[in-house]
A and B are shown apart, each in its own frame.
Chain A
Amino acid sequence: MLEAQNLAARRGFAELFKDVGFRVKSGDALVVTGPNGTGKTTMLRMLAGLSAPTAGEIRWNGRRVEPFSAELRAVVAYAGHLPALKDELTAEENLVSLVELSGTSAPRADIDRALDAVALSHRRSLPSRVLSAGQRRRIGLARLLVSRRPLWILDEPVTALDAAGAALLARLVHDHLDRGGIVVAATHQSLGLQPSRVQSLVLGETVPA
């Protein structure tokens, strides 16, 4: 269970948001929306433990977690704006490298299946620099699939994905929730989830832009 209480964020003198609170149960998703510049990315970085909240606290399974804490690092899979891919490595090498970095062993069969699932099997040996933006995103999806983390934090996950990619993402999120995982996503496109499982958080309402 992921909880937040009285979260606030500040960038310089500008207050992005304050008094934000929510509770996401296992198997539920939190979709963060709001106009540009209202702090969606900041909020997600806080939840991932990359950034310290100006005020408030974040709890994972009832225990307060600090930025970069070991508890959080063991459970979170963060997919931000930047793909974390190395141009010099192939699609497959990038995937294996990221999965190993997340502390998961990466059996060959799992890697193969994940590349199949994101329709990149035929491009696995190409250097990442020749892949399209959408294909690079798909490597990120494959990473989520293999890394087996309970908490997914996705910042604009649909960006650059085609219709099939978006459908794939929706299916991955759906399966993840089915297995008792939690997804926090900042997105304006629908992920096609059952409304009963989705909580919505709209930023930028209390503090007009």
Chain B
Amino acid sequence: MNATAPSTATILASVPADGALAGVRWALARDLKLAVRSRAELGVQLLFYVIVVTLFPLATTPERNLLSTMGPGVLWVAALLASLLSLPRLFATDHADGTLEQIALSPYALEALVSGKIAAHWLTTGLPVVLLAPMLGLQYYMDGESLTVLAAGLLIGTPILSLLGAIGAALTLGLKGGGGLLALLILPLYVPVLIFGAGAVDAVRAGLGATANLSLLGAGLALAVVGAPFAAAAAVRIALD
């Protein structure tokens, strides 16, 4: 027929996957492209973060000491909630339109593709939270050093939120009311991140230095980077079966 037919030689040669990195790159590039095309949704999540953080000084008191004490905690809790808000869509849209089947059948390792999706999730939801936090922290009379440590903690901690959240998002795929269940499943796992992240700022204010807290967060991140993609990939396979 026409020239579209691949030659006999090529068709039966199975396609080798050229490394895990190519899989990560594919998923990262595609999800970033989709995020740019539907940027209104990202704006909603960021605005949610800004509003939640801003509500606390309005609802409590403009008193300087109180605000600077509770500031780090509020900013961290808001970061958890903002992360949770965007997580249900991490796999659900791909699941609904059939892309997840194609992803699971790709010659690239599913773990690599999932890692790319998680990286894109962090870049589009976690990183903006990190960048906004110092500005929002000013509402809480936080000083320069506290703001630096807050941002550093969020920089190490928010990727953990995306990584752990991906496991929950994959486990709740296809369930009715999965969003609420996701929160119940994942928020308890976020607790250590919250404690060490907010604790880092408290430690600085108490003159102890943030090294211990930030190191523990870093260790948590290392663990999550190694383990979470495998767990999330296994959960995706279960959801498709």
Report if A58 contacts B (CB, 8 A). Answer: no
Report if B63 contacts A (CB, 8 A). Answer: no
A82 contacts B97, C-beta separation under 8 Å: yes
A86 contacts B11, C-beta separation under 8 Å: no
Smallest Cβ distance from B29 to chain A, in angstroms? 9
Report if A78 contacts B (CB, 8 A). Answer: yes
Report if A116 contacts B (CB, 8 A). Answer: yes
B98 contacts A81, C-beta separation under 8 Å: yes
Report if A114 contacts B (CB, 8 A). Answer: yes
Report if A67 contacts B (CB, 8 A). Answer: yes
> Per-position contact with A for B1-14: 1 when CB-CB < 8 Å, else 0?
11111101011101
Smallest Cβ distance from A184 to chain B, in angstroms? 14
Identify A103's interface contact among B4, B8, B17, CB under 8 A.
Answer: B17
Contact count band on A? 35 or more
Report if B148 contacts A (CB, 8 A). Answer: no
Smallest Cβ distance from A80 to chain B, in angstroms? 6
**Bound complex: CA of A53 vs CA of B18, how far in Å?**
30
Report if A84 contacts B (CB, 8 A). Answer: yes
**Inter-chain contacts of B26 with A (CB < 8 A):** 97, 100-101
Report if A73 contacts B (CB, 8 A). Answer: yes
A148 contacts B11, C-beta separation under 8 Å: yes
- Give the segment of A29-37, A175-183, A185-193, A198-206 that binds chain B: A175-183
Report if B211 contacts A (CB, 8 A). Answer: no
**Bound complex: CA of A179 vs CA of B6, how far in Å?**
9
**Inter-chain contacts of A135 with B (CB < 8 A):** none
B104 contacts A83, C-beta separation under 8 Å: no
**Inter-chain contacts of B98 with A (CB < 8 A):** 80-85
- Give the segment of B31-39, B161-169, B178-186, B189-197 that binds chain A: B31-39
For residue B3, which residue of chain A has the nearest CB?
Answer: A113
**Bound complex: CA of A76 vs CA of B102, how far in Å?**
10
For residue A151, which residue of chain B has the nearest CB?
Answer: B14
Smallest Cβ distance from A169 to chain B, in angstroms? 13
A76 contacts B97, C-beta separation under 8 Å: no
**Bound complex: CA of A176 vs CA of B11, how far in Å?**
9
- Give the segment of B105-113, B133-141, B150-158, B223-231 that binds chain A: B105-113
Q: How many pairs, one residue from A and one from B, have CB atoms within 8 Å of each other in the complex? A: 117
**Bound complex: CA of A145 vs CA of B16, how far in Å?**
18
B97 contacts A179, C-beta separation under 8 Å: no
Report if A125 contacts B (CB, 8 A). Answer: no
**Inter-chain contacts of B241 with A (CB < 8 A):** 50-52, 67
Identify B106's interface contact among A48, A67, A82, A102, CB under 8 A.
Answer: A102
Identify A50's interface contact among B15, B30, B34, B101, CB under 8 A.
Answer: B101
Smallest Cβ distance from B34 to chain A, in angstroms? 5
A82 contacts B12, C-beta separation under 8 Å: no
**Inter-chain contacts of A103 with B (CB < 8 A):** 15-18, 22, 106-108
B18 contacts A85, C-beta separation under 8 Å: no
B11 contacts A80, C-beta separation under 8 Å: no
**Bound complex: CA of A181 vs CA of B12, how far in Å?**
7
**Inter-chain contacts of A83 with B (CB < 8 A):** 97-98
**Bound complex: CA of A80 vs CA of B108, how far in Å?**
20
**Bound complex: CA of A75 vs CA of B107, how far in Å?**
9
B99 contacts A86, C-beta separation under 8 Å: yes
A57-75 residues with Cβ-Cβ distance < 8 A to B are: 67-68, 70, 73-75
A171 contacts B99, C-beta separation under 8 Å: no
Known A-B contacts: A68-B110, A73-B107, A101-B102. Give 12 more (CB < 8 A): A70-B17, A74-B14, A76-B105, A82-B97, A82-B98, A84-B97, A84-B98, A88-B38, A89-B34, A103-B108, A110-B4, A171-B1
A-B contact pairs, 17 of them (CB 8 A): A50-B101, A51-B241, A67-B237, A68-B110, A73-B105, A73-B107, A74-B16, A86-B97, A89-B34, A89-B37, A101-B103, A102-B15, A103-B15, A103-B16, A117-B2, A179-B6, A179-B12
Residues in A lying within 8 Å of B, measured CB to CB: 26, 48-52, 67-68, 70, 73-76, 78, 80-89, 93, 97-98, 100-104, 110, 113-114, 116-117, 145, 148-150, 171, 175-176, 179-181
Interchain residue pairs A-B with the least CB separation, the first 5:
A82-B98, A88-B37, A74-B14, A103-B107, A84-B98
